[in-house]
Amino acid sequence: GENVEQHPSTLSVQEGDSAVIKCTYSDSASNYFPWYKQELGKRPQLIIDIRSNVGEKKDQRIAVTLNKTAKHFSLHITETQPEDSAVYFCAASKKGNEKLTFGTGTRLTIIP
């Protein structure tokens, strides 16, 4: 089955700087890669997703890149703000079975 690895497990960034979280996946049939943000005690919230037919997607300060050949994808947050502090999860799924396999999460702390 699919295996998703996520790094780093913790990340501290000065406010205003950029943060990058990286994930790798094992199943070449995976074609959908969402990122979720989870604040303490809250539900995971989808912040951005990318499909395998594109290499990059951007939404304001958040961007995701996908390298299908290397089977890795990354989340980039620019101009970080204190409210970006949370745990971020990457995930992968494939057409025909949409269950998500999640990475182990990255605890992002923005230092004011």
Partner 1 sequence: GAGVSQSPSNKVTEKGKDVELRCDPISGHTALYWYRQSLGQGLEFLIYFQGNSAPDKSGLPSDRFSAERTGGSVSTLTIQRTQQEDSAVYLCASSLGTGASQPQHFGDGTRLSIL
**43 is an interface residue for partner 1 by CB under 8 A:** yes
Phi-psi region of 26 (alpha: psi -120 to 50; beta: other; left: phi over 0): alpha
d(CA 32, CA 92): 6
Q: Which residues pair with 22 in a beta bridge?
A: 7, 74
When asked if residue 7 is in the footprint of partner 1 (CB under 8 A), the reply is no
Q: Which stretch binds partner 1 (CB under 8 A): 10-18, 59-67, 73-81, 97-105?
A: 97-105
Strands 86-94 and 106-111: antiparallel
Least distance (Å) from partner 1 to the CB of residue 41? 9
Distance in Å, CB of 7 to partner 1, minimum: 13
Binding site for partner 1 (CB under 8 A): 31-32, 34, 36, 42-46, 49, 51, 89, 91, 93-95, 97-105
